[in-house]
């Protein structure tokens, strides 16, 4: 097959060649699962007011057509993910059934094994099996995939299936999943080495036997870590709020932490967990005995009020509906009820905490695009503390309470039901919690993390000054 035809074939088909892919769902199953997801979103999704209703309905109609052409269960679930991605929410996702998830490959290409990562908008090789390190040097940039620029390929074939709340988190996930596929899927990639050489490789997903990698994989990070830095700075690393043991480990180190003159709390790789665990650590760093958490909202759905609202128009909300005896306020409430824009605000009161010995010394919290969910709640608890400064990147920009629904073939989906804001009603979902000093991870930070950490260096310099 000529090179031109080879590229065109895989651009157009993005095909699945593995015979192992299950094909158990009937067309009725597929339509039912699609409609169930669409209906549950319409009823439960808290950010529906941000979505263009016509575009959403058109995406559903297109999905009905698309799923009828799917050849197996993998392709079907990909179409569900494509529809889900229209919502742009990090707590609203479609998950493959386990028997499909186990077949998906990211890094294995037989004799090659590649780990990729987005670094400030470009995709680089951050790990390679040792026998191929001279062919594909560490730090090589992936410049083309299947004849398209990497950005074009991501926009057409990767990002449409990713549901996240912010551009940064979408680019990060798209970089990691750039070449995701099933056994037999083929890719032609072009790389630019650190020395500027252009090289082309034909890759096909298959099991990689070689286990030695360059650089050697880092050991799994502990949930909690503590060490001393120069100038009596205590470095506290919290990588999860999933389990209450993180609070216990933190409290066990309090006698040492209290000896510090300054503190750095690193939650850059903390994907969340329990907000209660986050609060039980945050309470040691607040001034006074009152802690302010996020405000929470959910959609308020009363069918009878929606029914009345369905007979109203947007123009009726300007002056009310006098002939019906409805004031402007009443008309607006009914119209919002019909439109899905009426919210229940959960009771909000600052919490008075028990007396604890506080840690009110100058403190920096390190954040990144991977700081998410309960870790963002942790930042909200400490948001307006004068002795605390946020340094790093914008956070993941997604939190809330998802409802889980079952889908045909043992798959599932999450749909976010809770809107969360800062105490002053400012929204951060879809934006991320903003650092007070913006420092993005750079090329050296990612590739040579044992030597470089510009964000941590900025934190130390800031506290030292």
- 275 and 377 in a single domain? The answer is yes
Report the pLDDT averaged over residues 209-233.
93
The domain boundary residue, chosen from 339, 368, 390: 339
- 236 and 154 in a single domain? The answer is no
Token pair in block for residue 334: 């009914």
Cα separation, 65 vs 14, in Å, equals 18
What are the backbone angles phi and psi of residue 307, rounded to the nearest 5°?
-65, -45
Token pair in block for residue 249: 């480990």
What are the backbone angles phi and psi of residue 440, rounded to the nearest 5°?
-90, 145
Q: Give the pLDDT score at 8.
A: 39
Q: Give the pLDDT score at 7.
A: 38
Cβ–Cβ under 8 Å, residues 320 and 330: yes
Q: Give the pLDDT score at 354.
A: 81
pLDDT beyond 50 at 97:
yes
Structural domain includes residue 7? no
Structural domain includes residue 330? yes
Q: Give the pLDDT score at 20.
A: 85
Question: Looking at the 3D structure of the chain, how many domains does it have?
Answer: 3
- 360 and 233 in a single domain? The answer is yes
- Of 62, 64, 58, 72, the C-alpha closest to 35 is 64
Cβ–Cβ under 8 Å, residues 391 and 364: yes
- 238 and 322 in a single domain? The answer is no
Residue 404 is part of which domain span?
Answer: 224-296+349-464
CATH code of the domain in which 274 resides: 3.90.226.10
Cα separation, 418 vs 373, in Å, equals 12
What is the pLDDT of the chain when averaged over all its residues? 93
pLDDT tens-digit series, residues 274-286: 999 999 999 999 9
- 156 and 267 in a single domain? The answer is no
Structural domain includes residue 82? no
**Exposed/middle/buried for 198, CB within 10 Å: 0-12, 13-18, 19+?**
exposed
- 116 and 147 in a single domain? The answer is yes
- 450 and 360 in a single domain? The answer is yes
Cα separation, 147 vs 153, in Å, equals 9
- Whole-model pTM: value is 0.89
Q: Give the pLDDT score at 219.
A: 85
The domain boundary residue, chosen from 196, 214, 232: 214
Q: Give the pLDDT score at 465.
A: 85
Cα separation, 290 vs 285, in Å, equals 11
The domain boundary residue, chosen from 163, 196, 214: 214
- 409 and 361 in a single domain? The answer is yes
pLDDT tens-digit series, residues 5-42: 433 333 333 443 444 899 999 999 999 999 999 999 99
Residue 131 pLDDT level (bands cut at 50, 70, 90): very high
From residue 85, alpha-carbon distances to 58, 295, 394, 410 in Å are 14, 26, 21, 20
Cα separation, 207 vs 189, in Å, equals 19
- 290 and 309 in a single domain? The answer is no
Report the pLDDT averaged over residues 343-359.
90
Structural domain includes residue 250? yes
Count of CB atoms within 10 A of residue 400's CB? Answer: 24
What are the backbone angles phi and psi of residue 463, rounded to the nearest 5°?
-70, -35
pLDDT tens-digit series, residues 405-418: 999 999 999 999 99
3-state secondary structure of 355: coil
Residue 173 pLDDT level (bands cut at 50, 70, 90): very high
Report the pLDDT averaged over residues 123-146.
97
**What is residue 17's DSSP assignment?**
-
**What is residue 181's DSSP assignment?**
B
Q: Give the pLDDT score at 114.
A: 96
24-28: long-range pairs with CB below 8 Å, 24+:
24/73, 24/409, 25/73, 25/76, 25/408, 25/409, 27/67, 27/68
- 410 and 267 in a single domain? The answer is yes
Structural domain includes residue 261? yes
**215: cis peptide before it, omega within 30°?**
yes
pLDDT beyond 90 at 74:
yes
Structural domain includes residue 276? yes
CATH code of the domain in which 184 resides: 2.30.42.10
* DSSP secondary structure of 366-429: EE-TT--THHHHHHHHTTT-TTEEEEES--------EEEEEETTTEEEEEE--EEE-TTS-B-T
């Amino acid at each position: 097959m000529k090179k031109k035809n080879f590229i065109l074939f895989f651009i157009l088909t993005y095909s699945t060649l593995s015979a192992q892919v299950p094909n158990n769902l009937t067309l009725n199953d597929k339509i039912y699962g699609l409609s169930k997801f669409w209906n549950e979103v319409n009823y439960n999704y808290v950010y529906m007011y941000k979505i263009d209703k016509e575009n959403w309905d058109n995406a559903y109609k297109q999905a009905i057509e698309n799923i009828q052409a799917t050849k197996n269960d993998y392709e079907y679930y990909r179409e569900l993910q494509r529809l889900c991605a229209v919502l742009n929410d990090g707590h609203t996702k479609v998950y493959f059934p386990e028997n499909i998830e186990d077949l998906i490959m990211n890094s294995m290409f037989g004799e090659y094994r590649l780990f990729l990562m987005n670094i400030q908008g470009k995709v680089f090789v951050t790990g390679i099996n040792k026998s191929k390190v001279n062919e594909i040097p560490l730090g090589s940039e992936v410049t083309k995939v299947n004849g398209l620029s990497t950005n074009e390929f991501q926009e057409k074939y990767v990002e449409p299936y990713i549901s996240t709340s912010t551009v940064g988190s979408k680019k990060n996930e798209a970089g990691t999943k750039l070449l995701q596929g099933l056994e037999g899927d083929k890719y032609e990639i072009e790389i630019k080495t650190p020395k500027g050489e252009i090289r082309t490789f034909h890759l096909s997903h298959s099991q990689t036997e070689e286990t030695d990698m360059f650089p050697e994989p880092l050991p799994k990070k502990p949930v909690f870590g503590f060490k001393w830095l120069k100038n009596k700075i205590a470095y506290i690393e919290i990588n999860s709020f999933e389990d209450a043991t993180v609070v216990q480990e933190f409290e066990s180190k309090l006698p040492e932490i209290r000896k510090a003159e300054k503190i750095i709390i690193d939650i850059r790789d903390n994907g969340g967990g329990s907000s209660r665990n986050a609060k039980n650590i945050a309470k040691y760093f607040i001034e006074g005995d009152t802690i302010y958490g996020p405000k929470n909202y959910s959609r308020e759905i009363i069918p009878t009020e929606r029914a009345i609202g369905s007979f109203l128009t947007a123009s009726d909300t300007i002056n009310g509906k006098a002939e019906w005896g409805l004031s402007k306020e009443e008309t607006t409430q009914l119209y919002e009820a019909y439109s899905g824009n009426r919210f229940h605000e959960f009771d909000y009161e600052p919490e008075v905490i028990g007396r604890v010995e506080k840690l009110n010394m100058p403190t920096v919290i390190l954040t990144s695009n991977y700081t998410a969910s309960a870790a963002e709640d942790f930042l909200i608890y400490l948001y307006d503390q004068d002795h605390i400064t946020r340094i790093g990147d914008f956070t993941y920009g997604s939190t809330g309470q998802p409802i889980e629904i079952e889908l045909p073939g043992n798959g599932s989906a999450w749909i976010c039901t809770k809107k969360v804001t800062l105490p002053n009603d400012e929204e951060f979902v879809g934006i991320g919690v903003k650092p007070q000093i913006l420092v993005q991870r750079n090329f050296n930070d990612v590739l040579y993390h044992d030597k470089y950490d510009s964000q941590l260096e900025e934190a130390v310099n800031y506290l030292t000054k």
